[in-house]
Structure 1
Amino acid sequence: MLRLQARTRFTVLYGAASLLCGAALLAVVLLLAGSRFSDTAPVPGQGAGAPADRIAVLQRELAEADARHSRQILIACVCAFALMLVLSLLVGRVLAKRVLHPLRRITAATREITAERLDRRLALPGPRDEVTDLADTVDDLLGRLEAAFNAQRRFAADASHELRTPLATMRATVDVAAAKPAAPAPVLVLADRLRPQLDQVDRLLDGLLALARAQHGALGTGTADLAGLAAAALAARADEIAATGLTVTADLPPSPVTGDHALLARLVGNLVDNAVVHNEPGGTVAVTLAPEEGAVRITVRGSGPVLDHVDDLVRPFHRHGADRTGSERGSGLGLAIVDAITAAHGGTLALTAPPDGGLAVTVTLPGEQRPEAAR
């Protein structure tokens, strides 16, 4: 079924209304013209002879003139109808454009509002009508969304900060109890069990803080070389890579980008962490940088089992089933943080599951903005 735009529908509606009114007017004109130029009736009392023939000739001439006049009126009406059709469509288009102008303003302003700019409002001027009521309704909805987003972000940041103090207290208590010269064996066993759990909570809080900052924090405007960040991330995880027997290949040409150095380092580190932690013993890790015109693409691929529905992995605390290799060591925030940092820098994130297994994560970021290009 053909679905027309609102402007086209309004144009057809206004044009059809004008056309029907014009057609009715022309019909009245034709009706009156037909009654006026009717055939002339014979004159009573006329007999045969020359005068009667002359009168008959005059009547035929009048009938022919009436027919010609009727044809002229019909042709003029058809031309006027065609002209009225064109004019009605033009006028209808102008009226439709004028009527829909406030809606186009609402659409353009709404498209500019994103999750990072919920403080903007439409504030449509004009008299109180259905359009301004719609704009006010959208403004109210944006206000509620802004409050909900801010509350969520504040909660994540505040909860992470508040939990760090009791976490540090618990860690200190465990360390002090285990460091005593005559510490009982059960205490030492308990300390060995608690330290990994405390480290896991610490990573979780750090991830929540990074996620909150990426979603709502002010970004730095420095320059970072993704090649250096990737090399540093691989070096920091060299021991774990060696312990699991992973084979690492890296293609790291210089790839400068503009953005927050700390968040970009976290992005690259999380990509490498994801490929190392969720891998299989003796597997492979490939890190590739591809500078392009105005953009830089980084792809980190790790081996492993065949996956499906990988797009869900960017959801916070989502793991791809219990059979995913190494999932018990992750916090469930790694790729969610990558997604948030990528979006904050105006980039794109793509997750693909190669047919031979594993996961390939590709992040495309805008390239370095040079001063001469900015001008």
Structure 2
Amino acid sequence: MRLSLRARLTITYGGLFLVAGVVLLGATYALFDQQLSRSGTKVLATRLNPGPGGVPPAGTTQAITEPRTPSEARVMADADDWMRKQRDELHDAAVTSLVTQGSIALLVVGGAAAGFGWLIAGQVLSPLHRVTETARRIAGSPAADRGLHERIDLRGPRDEVKELADTFDTMVERLDRSFDGQRRFVANASHELRTPLTLGRALVEVAMHRESASPDVRQLGETLLQINSRHERLITGLLLLARSENEITSRAPVDLADVVAHVGAQTALEADGAGITVETETSEAMTAGDALLLERVVQNLLENGLRHNTESGWVSVSCRTEDGRAVLEVANSGPAVPRYEIPALFEPFRRLDNDRIVTAKGAGLGLSIVQSIVRAHNGTVTAAPRPGGGLTVTVALPSADPEDGDVLPGAPAQAPRDLPAGRGGRARSAVRS
């Protein structure tokens, strides 16, 4: 079991106090025993041959050690025995008092010292706990750059802990400015790029539809329109990515079954043209959030499954409520995806190597947008390769109660976007070429 820093400091305080107490108790006992032995010899000499004032006269050592008569020898022996007995009794009393009772007192005082050490260590470490809790809240936010507005703002004397907290605040402030500037740059650049792209599309279309336009010009125009369309999708994805990384302030109950039915109907034409079978299996899966963003999650996953597939392949979309979570699962056939490549697929502009060409099927933002939207809704998204090729992407979102209208804490209710009815019961459909 790993001990906390507070416990280790308390054990250190208590251990040092007990060691110092034992050393002090032992030194006191040794000095007392030495003084007791000297006092016993001096008292014996005084009683056997007292001089004026109770001090033996000079030159009486021979008289003490060598009795002159048998009666003196008997008296000296009795006195010696009595003094030894008294000294032994005093010695036993000293041992009992200093060792036994002193040890008990030392343990009691040591326990009190450990208790006070625990309280003092808690007071000293409380600023560190505040730093840790703030860092944990920032790291545990749905997106790491969303909680960077929070500061520790520690008050107190200018000590090491205060310097640590101030340094942490400075670091978080710089990160906050960096992320905020990055989001603003992406949004502003995307808006600015839309105007020339729209103008370029208009010019190309005018040139293509002129009566004097040759077939080569029309073919070139089609190619330019495809490139222009890809750039527009890229800019739209960047705008959506910048939007989804912001805090979602307005939430409403949304049934993923309705969203899946609506998106499935929208992509039916594309699936039919690609010769891919789309199967949906839905049951009620209530969550709370932004209906438009959640619709984009389903749309991106379904389009990803359609565009990165094989001829006569299939895509399966299902939703359900499981363990208090609204679960959306999209699986598709397709080329084999190495497991080590999966984390990179959720990064912006990352695709598999054979898709990184100008005419690629997407801009490489689909899964990164999905991840940002899901995190903004306090959910999780995972992907796993299928044994036969393709991917299985699973999205788990906090569920909401459709009866009493409970939504996520602190979220105001909002009327959901009108979607085709699909709630209640199970639906299964297939779109075939």
Q: Same fold (TM over 0.5)?
A: yes
Output the amino acid matched with 2:19.
Answer: L
- Higher relative CO (CA 8 A, sep ≥ 6), structure 1 or 2? 2
Structure 2 portions without partners, runs of 5+ = 46-60, 410-433
State the alpha-carbon separation in 2 of the partners of residues 367 and 197 from structure 1. 41
State the alpha-carbon separation in 2 of the partners of residues 26 and 141 from structure 1. 52
Give the superposition deviation at 1:224: 2.1
What residue in structure 1 maps to residue 129 of structure 2? 104
State the alpha-carbon separation in 2 of the partners of residues 306 and 88 from structure 1. 66
TM-score by length of 2: 0.81
Alpha-carbon contact 1:278-1:325 (below 8 Å) kept:
no
State the alpha-carbon separation in 2 of the partners of residues 281 and 327 from structure 1. 18
Q: Which of 343, 357, 363 does residue 331 from structure 1 map onto?
A: 363
Q: Alpha-carbon deviations, 1:126-149, whole Å to 9, x = none?
A: 121111111111111111011000
What residue in structure 1 maps to residue 118 of structure 2? 93
State the alpha-carbon separation in 1 of the partners of residues 187 and 308 from structure 2. 27
State the alpha-carbon separation in 1 of the partners of residues 399 and 8 from structure 2. 44
Output the amino acid matched with 1:94.
Answer: L
What residue in structure 1 maps to residue 260 of structure 2? 230
State the alpha-carbon separation in 2 of the partners of residues 293 and 372 from structure 1. 19
What residue in structure 1 maps to residue 192 of structure 2? 162
What residue in structure 1 maps to residue 427 of structure 2? none
Q: Alpha-carbon deviations, 1:345-367, whole Å to 9, x = none?
A: 00001111122221010000111
State the alpha-carbon separation in 2 of the partners of residues 248 and 168 from structure 1. 33
Alpha-carbon contact 1:279-1:326 (below 8 Å) kept:
no
Give the superposition deviation at 1:88: 3.1
2:263 is the alignment partner of 1:199:
no
What residue in structure 1 maps to residue 430 of structure 2? none
2:171 is the alignment partner of 1:141:
yes
Deviates more, 1:121-130 or 1:22-31: 22-31
What residue in structure 1 maps to residue 383 of structure 2? 351
SS of the equivalent of 2:329 reads strand
Matches within 5 A, 1:52-71: 52-71=76-95
Q: Are residues 74 and 219 of structure 1, via their aligned partners in 2, closer, same or farther at CA, if it must alter by over 3 Å? A: closer
Structure 1 portions without partners, runs of 5+ = none
SS of the equivalent of 2:353 reads coil
State the alpha-carbon separation in 1 of the partners of residues 261 and 298 from structure 2. 10
State the alpha-carbon separation in 1 of the partners of residues 359 and 331 from structure 2. 16
What residue in structure 2 maps to residue 365 of structure 1? 397
Deviates more, 1:69-78 or 1:182-191: 69-78
Matches within 5 A, 1:173-322: 173-216=203-246, 218-308=248-338, 309=340, 310-322=342-354
What residue in structure 1 maps to residue 5 of structure 2? 6
Deviates more, 1:244-253 or 1:201-210: 244-253
State the alpha-carbon separation in 2 of the partners of residues 25 and 252 from structure 1. 78
State the alpha-carbon separation in 2 of the partners of residues 269 and 172 from structure 1. 28
Give me the identity figure in percent. 35
Deviates more, 1:111-120 or 1:100-109: 111-120
Q: Are residues 75 and 217 of structure 1, via their aligned partners in 2, closer, same or farther at CA, if it must alter by over 3 Å? A: closer
What residue in structure 1 maps to residue 417 of structure 2? none
State the alpha-carbon separation in 1 of the partners of residues 355 and 148 from structure 2. 40
The count of corresponding residues between Structure 1 and Structure 2 is: 374
What residue in structure 2 maps to residue 77 of structure 1? 102
Give the superposition deviation at 1:293: 4.6
Give the superposition deviation at 1:36: 2.6
Alpha-carbon contact 2:337-2:385 (below 8 Å) kept:
yes
Give the superposition deviation at 1:217: 5.4
Q: Are residues 348 and 237 of structure 1, via their aligned partners in 2, closer, same or farther at CA, if it must alter by over 3 Å? A: same
State the alpha-carbon separation in 2 of the partners of residues 336 and 293 from structure 1. 26
State the alpha-carbon separation in 2 of the partners of residues 356 and 25 from structure 1. 77
SS of the equivalent of 2:8 reads helix
Output the amino acid matched with 2:315.
Answer: V
Rg comparison, structure with higher value: 2
Alpha-carbon contact 2:25-2:99 (below 8 Å) kept:
no
Measured on the aligned residues, the alpha-carbon RMSD in Å equals 2.3
Output the amino acid matched with 1:366.
Answer: P
Output the amino acid matched with 1:52.
Answer: M
State the alpha-carbon separation in 2 of the partners of residues 336 and 264 from structure 1. 14
Alpha-carbon contact 1:278-1:327 (below 8 Å) kept:
no
SS of the equivalent of 1:160 reads helix
Q: Are residues 151 and 209 of structure 1, via their aligned partners in 2, closer, same or farther at CA, if it must alter by over 3 Å? A: same
What residue in structure 1 maps to residue 17 of structure 2? 18
Alpha-carbon contact 1:220-1:261 (below 8 Å) kept:
no
Deviates more, 1:10-19 or 1:163-172: 10-19
What residue in structure 1 maps to residue 35 of structure 2? 36
Give the superposition deviation at 1:303: 0.8
Alpha-carbon contact 2:345-2:351 (below 8 Å) kept:
yes
Give the superposition deviation at 1:33: 1.4
Deviates more, 1:89-98 or 1:198-207: 89-98
TM-score by length of 1: 0.93
Deviates more, 1:14-23 or 1:95-104: 14-23
Q: Which runs of 4+ in 1 moved over 6 A?
A: 323-327
